[in-house]
Structure 1
């Protein structure tokens, strides 16, 4: 498993990252710990979690449970030095965390300490803001995105307040690097510019959705990433299981994400299964497992990527890890590009 620098930090992360959002809900703790062991054995050194996890559904009573499970693994195994741990503070929310309150500098200082306690560690390698407080076009909000209500100065003041708190945490040795999630090109550039001007910690990464079926990142965000040395932590690289093919022909497996939340967070519509079939057929024509093709494609991008994948079960994880050495040839990449032109953004 190749490693790449996390932004301009001195942290090296594997090109794949184990996501933990099912830990403590769909994935029991014993299986979660086995998954971490399997990932490390496969050369993965990067684990991503968040204070609000697990999901499907998100509930106030389970907030922090995924972090606790990761922390229990760290305490039991003593392998802290072998892993890069990333977590996130929640933004405004329906009441899952802090009764719906998002984050500012004061909240950041408290939330960092709470995550450290749950993770049973002295330092968080990458601390991320889960979504910007001013709003986001991610999660299918791009179709009706309206930034006209934003106040530029309020946003910049908020950024400085948050960066100041993060600077305190870095200086205290509590976090090593910082990142955003579900952010835009303008937002990321302003975070970087504000930090540079004030001598505060610089964003090393951005965690946005990116897959064969969701390629919003390919233009402005890609340019930002290359010019500002920001690493993409791509989430849902398998499009919430769509790219495995398990939902084709109207099948809804028991215990699957779709069986729990109904429409895969707005991804399921009349167009998505036919477009998914295009990629499934492309994989079959080239003798590839579609899961392996989707994951291998991530490392072909012209910007730095560490792809965050999750698995509900150990068997699912084993299937994903079996493709860790797959490399796509130029013809397959060209076919994928052609398919994207013909069927852009199915959701």
Structure 2
């Protein structure tokens, strides 16, 4: 396993991060622990979760993932695990989390952190992320900003001041953003500079063969500002594994949860998936290996967040690190992209 230090931080993380959002819904506690044990044995030291997990978010399962990660973490050497979790943002309207009080204010963030610490059975969180912007932005398959949807939001300075208190108290070590856009990241960086507040060290956004939105404004911005990308959904909800090509009713989030995969229900997605699967076969790879190795091989990716619902899937995902990548594959991927350009932003 390769390890990288997130710029501007003390976090030395594995190049692959285990995502856990299936724990508590698609995976039991025992299955979650088995995945964590296996990943940890393979050199993965970076674990990502969130207070709202598992997904899709529901009142009767909320917080289960953090509790499952916490019961595993309680028997580990804490210093050997880099633990990331997230604060729920305001725009999803999840009333069962803190009675819907999700603005990134001092009171709400303190309550969220202390609740997560208790569930995770730890004294500190290595990377604490704002799960999505509080302000109006395109999210989760949307791609057009609509000023008619404007709403009040907490100023970034106020949010950073609240997080700074938690850093000073040792409850969190570093902060990150998720599902963010250039304007929002700029506001956080400017506030940190002007008021000597903690600086964002990472952004967790969707990135895959089907969604390369990152490669425009966010790529230049984060390269120049030295902000790490932690891509999630490198397999596009499993579509890029090719399993739905073989069996449209295959078990997975796309078929089990109505409407949950709307980001991938767009024209061009089936054709692009089929083209990438054919490319993988032509080069002696599985579709999953191609999809993951593409993300693993990007120079701007700090650590790729993978997820699985079985140990067999997890093993394949980790083994994809060793899959070959060539100029011929790079060119073929570029050719497919031009035919079906960014079909699932």
Q: TM-score with structure 1 length normalisation?
A: 0.93
| Residue 81 of structure 2 corresponds to residue 83 of structure 1 | yes
2:264 is paired with a residue whose SS is coil
CA gap of 1:318–1:304, structure 2 versus 1, over 3 A, is closer
Gaps of 5+ in 1: none
Give the 4+ runs in structure 1 shifted more than 3 A: 147-151
Q: Deviations over 1:306-347 (max 9, x none)?
A: 111110122211221222222411211121122112211223
Q: Deviations over 1:57-109 (max 9, x none)?
A: 3112322110110110011x223222100000001132241232213121111
Match of 2:140 in 1: 139
| CA distance in 2: counterparts of 1:39 and 1:235, whole angstroms | 17
Native 8 Å contact 1:272 1:346 kept in 2: yes
Count residues in correspondence.
340
Q: Give the C-alpha shift of residue 50 in structure 1.
A: 0.2
Measured after TM superposition, the shift of residue 210 of structure 1 is 0.3
Residue 5 of structure 1: how far off its partner (Å)? 1.7
Contact map agreement 1:246 1:252 (CA 8 A) in 2? no
Greater shift in the superposed pair: 263-272 or 185-194: 263-272
Aligned ranges for residues 288-299 of structure 1 at < 5 Å?
288-299=285-296
The answer to whether the Cα contact below 8 Å between 2:207 and 2:213 also exists between their aligned partners in 1 is yes
User: What is the SS of the residue equivalent to 1:177?
Assistant: strand
CA distance in 2, matches of 1:164, 1:301: 34
Counterpart position of 2:61? 62
Is 2:178 the counterpart of 1:172? Answer: no
Confirm or deny that 1:53 pairs with 2:14: no
TM-score by length of 2: 0.94
Q: In the aligned structure 1, how far is the partner of 2:125 from the partner of 2:290?
A: 32
Determine if the alignment matches structure 1 residue 262 to structure 2 residue 263: no
- Is the contact between residue 231 and residue 301 of structure 2 (CA under 8 Å) also seen in structure 1? no
Match of 1:102 in 2: 102
Alignment of 1:249-328 (within 5 A): 251-254=248-251, 256-263=252-259, 264-328=261-325
Structure 2 stretches of 5 or more lacking a match?
Answer: none
Shift of 1:250: 5.8
Return the offset for 1:269.
3.5
**What corresponds to 2:73 in structure 1?**
74
Please give the secondary structure, in 1, of the residue aligned with 2:312: helix
3-state SS in 2 of match to 1:113:
helix
Q: Is the 8 A contact 1:280 1:290 kept in 2?
A: yes
1:249, CA displacement in angstroms? 5.7
| 1:159-189 deviations in Å (ceiling 9; x for gaps) | 1111001100111011110000010011112
Deviation at 1:285, TM superposition (A): 0.9
Q: Which secondary structure does the structure 2 equivalent of 1:340 belong to?
A: helix
Provide the residue aligned with 1:199 in structure 2: 196
| Alpha-carbon contact 1:7-1:230 (below 8 Å) kept | yes
Cα distance in 2 for partners of 1:188, 1:7 equals 15
Instruction: Give the deviation of 1:270 after TM superposition.
Output: 4.3
Aligned equivalents of 1:161, 1:138: Cα separation in 2: 23
Q: Between 262-271 and 131-140, report the one with greater CA deviation.
A: 262-271
Q: Distance in 2 between matches of 1:305 and 1:252?
A: 34
- Mapped partners of 1:327, 1:306: distance in 2: 18
What secondary structure, in the 3-state scheme, does the structure 2 residue paired with 1:341 have?
A: helix
2:43 maps to which residue?
43
Coordinate RMSD, CA, aligned: 1.6
Deviation of residue 42 (structure 1)?
A: 1.5
Deviation of 1:283 (Å): 0.8
| Aligned mates of 1:102, 1:139 — CA distance in 2 | 18
Provide the rounded CA distance (Å) in 2 between the counterparts of 1:210 and 1:234.
5
User: What is the CA–CA distance in structure 2 between the aligned matches of 1:128 and 1:257, rounded to whole Å?
Assistant: 24
Point out the more displaced range, 8-17 or 45-54. Answer: 8-17
> Is the Cα contact below 8 Å between 2:101 and 2:108 reproduced in 1?
no
Q: Does 1:18 align with 2:18?
A: yes
Distance 2:299 2:71 in 1: 37
